[in-house]
């Protein structure tokens, strides 16, 4: 969601702030702003819309200063406009803030009545700025004022704070919204995302909840909310600047789709043992776990949830254990009956999704063992789970997830393979799964090589207003994910159903104006699915088919077919999803939408 950047050092702050904001554009935002402190005065410039609007406003009279903060806002309290954009000021105090202050209305009323404060915006953030300003009048330091204010706050925050009268200091605090410190010899960089500091430093410190960082050029101190000093290990960022650039592609989304043969090889590297027919995951190295757990409980949101839904089919077949799958946003507010011997699988690309993080903490409160499938190294989920595996998909800049979904599904296969072999899975079946995974990068590449054909199909169907995806068994979650991808980036209404459920209602929608995308590759339910295909054709539905290479019989139903390689039942759903990623991308391009930053969406949803 919103992006935060801060800098204190010897260089001019403005270029660092703008560069950092541009690198975090993918997170989703509706306005942007910066504040720079120079010679005891803070200059704030902010604009509605894209960062380019802010850059134009700054070009003629760029504010000076070696200390500054910046922000891209995704509206929560107050409409997207310049007045509600960050940074916000209250007298000598200037702040940027991610998160939600849940008791802001009560605090605002008290500030008005007791301290005669006047508010210019509709935001909860401005309330926090005034609260810090009031506390600063009676405290000895900026960090003491920030601590006193935050102790009155209910909600989540990642916040950076400047004080006109303390020009050599930048204060940061975190609860439930990510913040990191980038460390160099003569500067400190602060950001909500590691991509913002790549190229400036490769040394970072991740703030934990209820911690405050006091930063001066090249130095920092961290205290907790009891004002006690905290020590943190510095981490090295392995990412390179080229990983967050388009590398000649028109959009990050296409780049990330096309990277999948490599990212699949990366997630598998060193984790497969063909001879033993198993995988090797350090987070599951204790053999006792194979017998201790009696079920899986999978938690995710959006695309991660659909990866978990597909993982449900795969894990149950590989391990013989039942799998429950939950939306994190629902799980955290239910009264779930949780088996104490369950293994909680936490699925997240960013590792910062608020609902997923809250669900993880609820599982830990109940003493449930947790295992993370996480892409972002050093993220909150990665640091809080009991064990886990990094997906090694690399930075995913486009809001719509593609390569991370593929990696999450493969993660389920690796978990299932290791636990399954530790329980009852025959070695021959384990070896077959390993071979299927080893073949996957080349098979995915063969589908990507069909991109011109898929682009032509996208152009043909791009003006349809309604699309239905149908799949059966493991291809039902694929249908759900494919429909989500289409509506996310093309804004076409799309739904997905298990094809066996079509006759129980959705069949009423079928007419020549409805595009039906039907997954019908060769598998154990091929004939059953074929009868569903007949039902669609009989009612005049427009058909786009996904089938197995060499299946000429599909041409009797439609001339519009995308073929995927013949493959293992365990990897077939991954292969079936790849052309749907390309199809959604090319439809969005044809319709002229903002492919990488679709309207109303954010990459990492760190508020409820």
Q: How confident is the model at residue 339 (pLDDT cuts 50, 70, 90)?
A: confident
Per the structure, the complete domain to which residue 257 belongs is given by 246-443
CA-to-CA distance for 231 and 219, rounded, in angstroms? 13
Q: Are residues 236 and 256 in the same domain?
A: no
- Distance of alpha carbon 93 from alpha carbon 130, whole angstroms: 8
- Which positions ≥6 away from 226 have C-beta within 8 Å? none
**Which residues face 236 on adjacent strands?**
203
Sorted by sequence, the CB contacts under 8 Å of residue 574 that are 6+ apart come out as 406, 409, 410, 440, 444
Residue 74, pLDDT > 80, answer no
- The string of pLDDT tens digits covering residues 6-37 is 999 999 999 999 999 988 887 678 899 999 99
Report how far residue 3's alpha carbon sits from residue 182's, in angstroms, rounded to the nearest whole number. 15
Q: Does residue 604 belong to any structural domain of this protein?
A: no
H or E element, residue 354: helix 354-365
Q: Is residue 187 part of a domain?
A: yes
- Last residue of one domain, picked from the residues 190, 222, 243: 243
Range 271-295 average pLDDT: 90
Residue 19 CB coordination number (10 Å): 16
Do 136 and 261 reside in the same domain of the chain?
no
Determine if the pTM surpasses 0.85: no
Q: Is 197 helix (H, G, I), strand (E, B) or coil?
A: coil
CATH code at position 169: 3.60.20.10
Instruction: Look at residue 247 and tell me whether its pLDDT is greater than 90.
Output: no
Whether residue 340 lies inside any domain: the answer is yes
Instruction: Kindly state whether residues 298 and 327 are assigned to the same domain.
Output: yes
Is it the case that residue 77 has pLDDT exceeding 80? no
Place of tokens 């991610």: 98
In the block, residue with structure tokens 């994190």: 328
Q: How far apart are CA 348 and CA 300, in angstroms?
A: 7
* Overall average pLDDT of the 171-200 stretch: 92
Same domain, residue pair 233 and 257: no
CA dihedral 294, 299, 304, 308 (to 10 degrees): 20
Three-class DSSP category at 296: strand
Q: Which of 443, 474, 505 is the last residue of a domain?
A: 443
Instruction: Kindly list the distances between the CA atom of residue 473 and the CA atoms of 382, 506, 574, in Å, as whole numbers in the listed order.
Output: 31, 18, 13
Is the residue at 99 inside a domain?
yes
Please indicate, yes or no, whether residues 163 and 264 belong to a single structural domain of this protein: no
* Residues 138, 32 share a domain: yes
Can you give the pLDDT at residue 298?
96
The 10 Å Cβ neighbour count of residue 340 is 9
Is 8 in contact with 36 (CB distance < 8 Å)?
A: no
Q: Is residue 607 part of a domain?
A: no
User: Exposure string (b/e) for 178-194, b if CB count within 10 Å is 16 or more?
Assistant: bbbbbbbeebbbbbbbb
The last residue of one of the domains, among 218, 243, 268, is: 243
Give me 392's structure tokens.
């090694």
Structure tokens at 109: 């009323």
Q: Are residues 198 and 160 in the same domain?
A: yes
- Looking at the chain, the whole-number percentage of residues with pLDDT higher than 90 is 74
Look at 73 and 27; give whichever has higher pLDDT: 73
Q: What CATH number is attached to the domain comprising 325?
A: 3.40.50.10490
Whether residues 11 and 95 share a domain: the answer is yes
Return the closest-CA partner of residue 353 out of 298, 412, 300, 297: 300
Does residue 48 belong to any structural domain of this protein? yes
Instruction: Please classify residue 434 by burial: count the beta carbons closer than 10 Å to its beta carbon, then call 0-12 exposed, 13-18 middle and 19+ buried.
Output: buried
Catalytically annotated residues: 2, 603
Q: pLDDT class for 419, splitting at 50, 70, 90?
A: very high
CB 392 within 8 A of CB 267: yes
Q: Tell me the Cα Rg of the chain.
A: 26
- 376 band by pLDDT with thresholds 50, 70 and 90: confident
């Amino acid at each position: 969601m919103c992006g935060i950047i801060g800098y204190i050092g010897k260089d001019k702050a403005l270029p660092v702030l703008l560069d950092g904001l541009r690198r975090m554009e993918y997170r989703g935002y509706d306005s942007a702003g910066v504040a720079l402190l120079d010679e005891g005065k803070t200059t704030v410039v902010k604009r509605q819309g894209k960062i380019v609007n802010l850059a134009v406003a700054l070009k003629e009279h760029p504010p000076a200063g070696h200390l500054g903060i910046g922000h891209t806002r995704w509206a929560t309290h107050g409409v997207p406009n310049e007045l509600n954009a960050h940074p916000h000021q209250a007298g000598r105090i200037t702040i940027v803030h991610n998160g939600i202050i849940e008791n802001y209305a009560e605090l605002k009323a008290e500030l008005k009545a007791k301290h005669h404060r006047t508010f210019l915006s509709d935001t909860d953030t401005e309330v926090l700025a005034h609260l810090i300003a009031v506390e600063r009048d009676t405290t000895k330091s900026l960090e003491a004022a920030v601590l006193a204010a935050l102790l009155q706050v209910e909600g989540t925050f990642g916040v950076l704070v400047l004080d006109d009268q303390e020009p050599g200091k930048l204060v940061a605090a975190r609860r439930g919204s990510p913040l990191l410190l980038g460390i160099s010899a003569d500067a400190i960089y602060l950001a909500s995302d590691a991509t913002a500091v790549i190229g400036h430093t490769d040394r970072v410190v991740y703030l934990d909840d209820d911690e405050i960082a006091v930063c001066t050029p090249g130095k920092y101190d961290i205290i907790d909310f009891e004002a006690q000093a905290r020590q943190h290990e510095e981490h090295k960022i392995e990412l390179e600047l080229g990983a967050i650039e388009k590398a000649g592609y028109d959009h990050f989304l296409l780049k990330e789709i096309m990277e999948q043969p490599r990212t699949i090889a990366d997630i598998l590297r060193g984790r497969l043992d063909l001879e033993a027919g198993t995988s090797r995951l350090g987070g599951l190295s204790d053999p006792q776990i194979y017998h201790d757990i009696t079920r899986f409980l999978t938690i995710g949101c959006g695309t991660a949830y659909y990866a978990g839904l597909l993982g449900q089919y795969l894990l149950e077949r590989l391990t013989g254990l039942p799998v429950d799958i939950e939306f994190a946003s629902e799980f955290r507010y239910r009264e779930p009956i949780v088996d104490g011997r369950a293994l909680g699988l936490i699925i997240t690309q960013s590792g910062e999704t608020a609902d997923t993080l809250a669900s993880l903490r609820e599982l830990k409160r109940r003493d449930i063992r947790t295992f993370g499938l996480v892409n972002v190294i050093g993220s909150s989920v990665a640091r809080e789970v009991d064990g886990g595996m990094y997906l090694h998909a690399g930075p995913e800049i486009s809001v719509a997830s593609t390569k991370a979904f593929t990696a999450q599904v493969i993660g389920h296969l690796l978990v299932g393979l290791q636990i399954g072999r530790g329980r009852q899975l025959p070695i021959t079946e384990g070896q077959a799964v390993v071979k299927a995974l080893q073949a996957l990068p080349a098979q995915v590449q063969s589908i990507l090589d069909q991109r011109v054909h898929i682009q032509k199909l996208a152009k043909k169907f791009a003006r349809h207003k309604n699309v239905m995806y149908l799949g059966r068994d493991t291809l039902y979650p694929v249908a759900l994910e494919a429909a989500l991808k289409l509506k996310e980036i093309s804004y076409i209404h799309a739904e997905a159903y298990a094809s066996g459920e079509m006759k129980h209602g959705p069949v009423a929608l079928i007419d020549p104006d409805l595009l039906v995308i039907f997954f019908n590759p060769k598998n154990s339910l091929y004939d059953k699915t074929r009868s569903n295909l007949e039902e669609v054709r009989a009612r005049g539905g427009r058909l786009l088919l996904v089938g197995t290479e060499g299946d000429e019989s599909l041409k009797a139903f439609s001339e519009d077919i995308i073929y995927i390689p013949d493959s293992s039942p365990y990897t077939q759903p991954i292969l079936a999803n790849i052309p749907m990623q390309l199809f959604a991308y090319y439809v969005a391009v044809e319709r002229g939408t903002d492919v990488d930053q679709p309207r109303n969406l954010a990459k990492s949803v760190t508020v409820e």
